[in-house]
Each structure stands twice: as structure tokens, then as C-alpha cells.
Amino acid sequence: MINLRELRKQKGLTMKQLGTELGMAESTVSLYETGKRNPDVQTLIRFADFFDVSLDSLCGRDFYTDGSMLSEKDQMMLQAMEQLNEEGQDKVMEYIDDLLSSTKYIKMHKTGMVGKA
């Protein structure tokens, strides 16, 4: 349960509050967060549904669509985007488009540029 504590704190909940929301004792939440106890599949699903995340994400397995793992920086960027409303997300995408239009900010590989097609 790598991300349980982080997700709980993002929602501004105490262990007791999370336990109350999901019908479990504060001590059980603590055991899950510290890794001293592993939740069963049904409990994992309840956590994932409550926090609106995938089971992979809940367990710290965030992937790109090609199956490779997300870097810590990529995960931080995604978490920041999730905190923005639609207008804020649109502004970020506009800024990214501006950066991608300049070769100064494009990664270079042996086979050429990577970026917008």
C-alpha cells in the first residue's frame, strides 16, 4: 500500500476519518499504511474506488501506455494536473504546446527529435 498514506493526506483525512468512511478501525488503516498488514482484494478495490484511482496506482504501479513505469517527476506532474480545474489544465497544455514548438526544449535522440509530429 505504497500510496495509501499519500492519498489519505491529499484528501485531508486522518486515519480515523478514513477508517470511518470505509468502515474499518483506525488501527487497521495504520497497519495497511505501514505495510504491517496487507489488505485483501475487496479492500483494495474499496480504497481505489474511494480515492478514484486505479489499483495499479494505489499500489504504486503507475505506467505509461507502453507499459513502462512513470518516473517520479512524471507522477508529480500528473498529480499536479489532477489538482487543477479544466481551465488550469488548458493553460498548462497551451504552455506545453509553446515549449514543443521550440527545438530548444525538445529531447534529441540518435534517431532525431522526439516530440510533436
Residue 41 located in a structural domain: yes
d(CA 49, CA 68): 24
SS (H, E, C) 13-77: CCHHHHHHHHCCCHHHHHHHHHCCCCCCHHHHHHHHHHHCCCHHHHCCCCECCCCCECCHHHHHH
pLDDT band at 63 (very low <50, low <70, confident <90, very high): low
Beta bridge partners of 108: 113
CATH code: domain of residue 23: 1.10.260.40
Number of domains in the chain: 2
pLDDT digits (tens, 9 = 90+) for 2-26: 578 888 988 899 999 999 999 999 9
Residue 67 located in a structural domain: no
pLDDT band at 116 (very low <50, low <70, confident <90, very high): very low
Residue 26 located in a structural domain: yes
- The count of other CB atoms within 10 Å of the CB of residue 7 is 20
Average pLDDT, the chain: 83
Containing structural domain, residue 89: 84-113
